[in-house]
Amino acid sequence: MAFLSVGFPGLGLERFSVRRNLFSLEFFSLSLYGALIAAGFLLAVVYCMRRAGEFHLSQDEIIDMLICAVPAAVVGARLFYCVFNWSYYSRNLLRVFYVWEGGLAIYGAVIGALTAAGLYCRVKRIHIGAMFDLGALGLLIGQAVGRWGNLFNVEVYGVSTSLPWRMAIYETASPYAVYNPPIMVHPLFLYESLWNALGFVLLHFLSKKARRFNGQIFLCYAAWYGIGRGFMEGLRDPEYILDMFGDAVMVNQVLAFVSGMAALLALGYLLIFRNHDPDRMAAWTAARDARIAAKAGEKAGAAPKDGEDGDGNGTGNLADIDPEDYTPRSLGGGEDDTDDEKEGADDGGSDGRDGGGEDGQG
């Protein structure tokens, strides 16, 4: 068994031992890697819960989505890793289930989580773009914090370098042996953590000041993370390049660049060639809630007649309104209840139907 220690000599941080476990009991131990992953997850959840209303989501919807997405992320991360290391797992099929031995891929986790979250939103009629926008910010938090767990596992490092911020890795046969000359490598875990932290700060303020359509922040995240990760994969040690059917393939780098460039192109097209009304982001959710309320009223036997509201006014049946066709005036909303405003409401509903799919599908 090898004993590892690390250091950052160019930054004045001399060699120090790293411990893998935060604490150990007779039948249980908590690794520092796991603790940091959990800390990043909890910080992301707290952040998303606090900002849910700004994305026209409820906290209950966030929790229900996580119940679906978290297990899917673990399964996706494991499957992604095993598929691209099939030359080993094809001879050791049972070890596919040995998650505690390590072997989780971040891209598999993201794909699994997004798939589950998308299906949940589809079933619950939640705007996928809004959920993905908020989820992208949470992902950046979790990735920025969780990457520090790789320091304690002494993993996710790159090729040799002499740069001032190089990381030194010392390996000995026992904790008391004389250290061999260290290897000096790129601390990729640090690069990715800082890249994600910077991305979070930028997208946090962008989401508050310049978010124009549902899905915009998620596309920014995919472009930012994908392109950055692609360049970092180019510095990665060959030991950590995924193996595909016996051949070394830089799968992560290809996937990173492809997803990042695709997101960047989609973002540019939507911003340049499509018109967006930020008010429609709230309107979509309002129409959905109105539809749900109308259906609940029908089940209770209290639904208004077609073409009338509860007071007998001709506003139409809310259950017949589709969220994607909604504009604020399609429910007759206005400051003055005049005949002109009612005519404007009819016109507004027509306009909403003409352009309904634009931001609803952003």
177 and 296 part of one domain: no
Q: 16 has which bridge partners?
A: 6
52 and 135 part of one domain: yes
Q: What is the dihedral of CA 232, 101, 4, 149, to 10 degrees?
A: 50
pLDDT, mean of residues 335-359: 44
Q: What is the dihedral of CA 236, 240, 244, 249, to 10 degrees?
A: 10
Last residue of a domain, one of 209, 227, 262: 209
13 and 147 part of one domain: yes
Residue 200: count other Cβ atoms within 10 Å of its Cβ.
23
286 and 203 part of one domain: no
Residue 343 binned pLDDT confidence (cut-offs 50, 70, 90): very low
190 and 48 part of one domain: yes
- Whether residue 258 lies inside any domain: the answer is no
Grouping H, G, I as helix, E, B as strand and the rest as coil, residue 247 is strand
* Count of structural domains within the chain: 2
Last residue of a domain, one of 161, 180, 209: 209
Q: Cα separations (Å) of 150 from 51, 240, 256, 345?
A: 29, 13, 20, 57
Tell which residue, 56, 60, 63, 58, has the closest CA to residue 129.
56
- Full-model pTM: 0.77
Last residue of a domain, one of 176, 209, 242: 209
* Structure-block tokens of residue 291: 């539809």
Over 60: is that where the pLDDT of 272 sits?
A: yes
Residue 138 and residue 41 in contact, taking contact as beta carbons nearer than 8 Å: no
Residue 28: count other Cβ atoms within 10 Å of its Cβ.
7
Over 70: is that where the pLDDT of 242 sits?
A: no
- Whether residue 249 lies inside any domain: the answer is no
Residue 246 binned pLDDT confidence (cut-offs 50, 70, 90): low
- Whether residue 50 lies inside any domain: the answer is yes
201 and 289 part of one domain: no
Residue 201 and residue 31 in contact, taking contact as beta carbons nearer than 8 Å: no
More confident residue, 237 or 57: 57
Place of tokens 């705007």: 127
What pLDDT digit, counting tens, does each position of 64-79 carry? 999 999 999 999 999 9
94 and 173 part of one domain: yes
pLDDT, mean of residues 110-136: 95
What pLDDT digit, counting tens, does each position of 18-48 carry? 877 777 777 777 788 889 999 999 999 999 9
How many percent of the chain have pLDDT more than 70?
Answer: 77
- Calpha distance 229→352 (Å, rounded): 40
- Calpha distance 157→155 (Å, rounded): 6
188 and 283 part of one domain: no
- Whether residue 327 lies inside any domain: the answer is yes
- Calpha distance 47→201 (Å, rounded): 13
174 and 283 part of one domain: no
- Whether residue 354 lies inside any domain: the answer is yes
Residue 47 and residue 138 in contact, taking contact as beta carbons nearer than 8 Å: yes
- Whether residue 271 lies inside any domain: the answer is no
58 and 190 part of one domain: yes
Give the range of the structural domain holding residue 351, as residue numbers without chain letter.
279-301+319-360
- Whether residue 79 lies inside any domain: the answer is yes
81 and 198 part of one domain: yes
- Whether residue 135 lies inside any domain: the answer is yes
To 5 degrees, how large is the angle CA 104–CA 110–CA 112? 85
* Structure-block tokens of residue 15: 């060699």
How would DSSP label each residue in 229-275?
HHHHHTTB-GGGSPEETTEE--HHHHHHHHHHHHHHHHHHHHHHHS-
More confident residue, 31 or 115: 115
